[in-house]
Amino acid sequence: QVQLVESGGGLVQTGGSLRLSCAASGRTFSNWVMGWFRQAPGKEREFLAALTWSGWIGSRTLYADSVKGRFTISRDNAKNTVYLQMINLKPEDTAVYYCAADPTAWGSRSADEYDFWGQGTQVTVSS
């Protein structure tokens, strides 16, 4: 059974940094698409970043324009863990952040394309 568990959220001041982790279990995820989304109160779930890896092409990443240059997605295949490094955080980054996984969602920015989700971790950026 696939399980995703996020950690690393918390309260940070404007301009601060956080690194979120997503520990995956239940299978090998090395060639799956791993993504990060967030959802603020009253808003739809928003795509942030995705990463996939293959032995032939290597690692590929995709970012939303709103976070490009500030957020970095990475993975440690040996630990089955995906990370989201966030810098220069702003109050509008306040949301619940979710990790997602899917074998075929590469290229999609839609939450509907991802089959597996973590429970979310709260990130609050104070002004």
At 65-100, the pLDDT tens digits run: 999 999 999 999 889 999 999 999 999 999 999 999
Q: What order of strands is seen across the sheet that includes strand 3-7?
A: 3-7, 18-25, 81-86, 71-76
Whether the per-residue pLDDT at 55 is higher than 80: the answer is no
Give pLDDT, residue 124: 98
CA nearest to 20, candidates 81, 105, 101, 65: 81
What is residue 48's predicted lDDT score, i.e. its pLDDT?
Answer: 98
pLDDT value at residue 33? 94
At 73 the pLDDT is 97
Nearest residue to 90 via CA among 43, 39, 125, 63: 125
Q: Is the pLDDT of residue 30 over 80?
A: no
Parallel, antiparallel or unpaired: strands 18-25 and 71-76: unpaired
The tokens for 112 are: 């509907």
Report whether 16 contacts 127 (CB < 8 A).
Answer: no
Using CA atoms, how far apart are residues 113 and 108, in angstroms rounded to an integer? 7
Tokens of 65: 């324009």
Instruction: Determine the pLDDT at residue 28.
Output: 80
